[in-house]
């Protein structure tokens, strides 16, 4: 039968030092993680503030673009068309039809 042997003073001290080391490394890791998160959040706030300040004065309002923006992009014709300006229409013939592909049924 084995009898329980209490740990010696040296073993108790080694366990205490190990626990202390693990705790200190844990605290240092958490401090590092929180500091990194704080730096990232500060940089994000700084970038957001500078982006808002530089974008606001760059917007200029012009009356000519507000009248017909589709015509300015070339998507729609400029309206109104005056009597002197007749729109030109060009018609091209349709391409000749192509025959449908033939499918052969498999032979039994």
Domain ranges in the chain are 9-53
Q: Is residue 94 very low, low, confident or very high in pLDDT (cuts 50, 70, 90)? A: confident
Identify the residue whose tokens are 């929180």: 34
Q: Which of 81, 99, 97, 101 is nearest to 89 (CA)?
A: 81
Model pLDDT, residue 20: 98
Model pLDDT, residue 4: 87
> Under the phi-then-psi rule, with left for phi > 0, alpha for psi from -120 to 50, and beta for the rest, what region is 84?
alpha
- Give pTM, 2 decimals: 0.40
Q: Is the pLDDT of residue 95 over 90?
A: no
Look at 23-27, 39-43, 57-61, 95-99 and tell me which has the smallest mean pLDDT.
57-61
Higher model confidence: residue 83 or residue 103?
A: 103
Which pLDDT tens digit goes with each residue over 28-70? 999 999 999 999 999 988 887 777 555 555 556 555 545 677 7
Percent of the chain with pLDDT over 90: 35
């Amino acid at each position: 039968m084995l009898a329980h042997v209490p740990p010696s003073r040296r073993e108790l001290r080694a366990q205490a030092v190990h626990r202390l080391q693990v705790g200190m490394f844990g605290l240092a890791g958490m401090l590092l993680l929180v500091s990194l998160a704080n730096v990232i959040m500060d940089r994000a706030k700084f970038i957001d503030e500078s982006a808002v300040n530089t974008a606001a004065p760059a917007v200029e309002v012009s009356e000519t673009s507000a009248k017909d923006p589709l015509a300015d992009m070339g998507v729609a014709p400029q309206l109104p068309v005056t009597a002197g300006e007749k729109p030109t229409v060009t018609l091209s013939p349709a391409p000749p039809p192509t025959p449908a592909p033939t499918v052969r049924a498999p032979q039994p």
